[in-house]
A and B are shown apart, each in its own frame.
Chain A
Amino acid sequence: MRQALGIDALTGIYARLAPRYDWQHRLITFAADQRGRKMLVEQTVREGDRVLDAGAGTGATGLLAARKAGHSGVVTLFDLSDDMLDRARDKAEIEAMDLRLEFRSGDMVQLPFKDASFDVVLSTYSLCPLYDPAKGALELYRVLRPGGKLGCAHSAEPRNRAVKWLADKVENIAWRFPWLSMGCRAVDVLPTLQKAGARVVLQKHIGVPLWPFVVFVVEKPATP
């Protein structure tokens, strides 16, 4: 796993990326990113839910979740970058979303929420740039209520060895241009969550062969 970029570097990159993040991420992933977001929201969010979108960025997932949670639900959009959250806020205003949204800024590895605060926690493509993805995943799990669902989508290593070799070469080049790599690298957090007691309810591989994603949903057992 590549060395993650520091918080200051990420803040700078995402401040510059904010205006073009949506289309750039969609282009790089051949629109597989949207499939992941829709799949997770579909599988996890119900009307009235209290939802956390961690690493919410420009709100691509959080706003989908807000529509599904409806007027009786509330969605907290959490991100390191104020600039990305500003885009999310603008989008919600443009779409005249009369739904309950909250915006909080901070570090996903040190979430500022009480234990068991949310019915649903979502992380779409936000564990990949974290300096400690396993610790970040455990934080997401901590703030999830027993019986609640955690849905994640993140970059993964290609399973085919030859493709993995090629992907590695491409990534080496991309890594020199942070605006292109967005600080993202393949991570693997599911074993950590399972060790903590999470029960896997969905696991899928999406994306293109050179740039695959894992999408999964885990449930926190109601009684430990």
Chain B
Amino acid sequence: MSTAVDPRLLEILVCPLCKGALVYRKEAGELICKADRLAYPIKDGIPVMLEDDARKLDPAEEVAG
């Protein structure tokens, strides 16, 4: 069974709010929506795609990718 977050993660996963593409930040364990400036956490290998659980990006925070 494979439960690790792998590179194919972003193949079909999008922001639940705007349905736009996400940027995977492996080191922070987060999936970023640049349009909504939200960082969705990956907890124990499970991406949590809820607005209420997402971290709001700091206004100065740059997102590459």
Contact = CB atoms under 8 A, between A and B. Distances in A.
Interface of A: 7, 80, 82, 85-86, 89, 92-93, 96-107, 110-115, 117
Contacts of B12: 113-114, 117
A106 B1 contact: no
A113 B15 CA distance: 8
B3 A106 contact: no
Contact of A82 (B15, B17, B43): B43
Given A112-B15, A112-B16, A82 B48 contact: yes
Chain B interface bracket (under 10, 10 to 19, 20 to 34, 35 or more):
20 to 34
A77 to B, nearest CB: 9
Contacts of A82: 43-44, 46, 48
A112 B14 contact: yes
Nearest to A101: B1
A148 B1 CA distance: 25
Contacts of A106: 16, 48-50
Interface of B: 1-3, 12-17, 19, 40, 43-52
Contacts of B40: 112
B1 A7 contact: no
Nearest to A8: B52
Contact of B46 (A104, A110, A113): A104
Residue among A7, A86, A92, A112 facing the most chain B CB atoms (10 A cut-off): A112
